[in-house]
Amino acid sequence: MSDLNLLKDRYETLVKKLSEQFSDAEELEVDQLLFIVGLQELGQVHRKFSKDEKINVIHIAICRLLEPYGYYAFSHFDEDGWPHYTVLDQLPFLKSGEQSRLMKEALVQYFLEKGYLD
């Protein structure tokens, strides 16, 4: 199986599992998956977030997901328990499809590392 097909299969499995767990099987979008990762990393899953905080939760996810690619490094937790990251390298310009593939690849890798996917 090619790398692209393997990624596609794993991503579809991930979306199906998370959708069943968090949305009554309505298929989750990438931004919703990012929010789930951000909540996991923040560790404050049982509270309400303002619109700005939700954006920050997604930002946490993006930083965490792109950390293994060398774009960010974890810096510290602030006094409220929010993780902060330092930019190590600017993301290159990516076409829409390339951005989508990078995020899907990073999401799959994250959930493989967490043992959520086989």
Residue 118 lies in a domain: no
In angstroms, the CA 105 to CA 103 distance is 5
The answer to whether 110 and 63 have CB atoms below 8 angstroms apart is no
Summarize pLDDT for 11-45 with one digit per residue, the tens: 999 999 999 998 876 899 999 999 999 999 999 87
Which pLDDT tens digit goes with each residue over 76-96? 999 999 999 999 999 889 998
Answer yes or no: is 62 within a domain. Answer: yes
Range of the structural domain that residue 78 is part of: 3-113
Name which of 97, 95, 93, 38 is nearest 62 in CA terms: 38
Domain total of the chain? 1
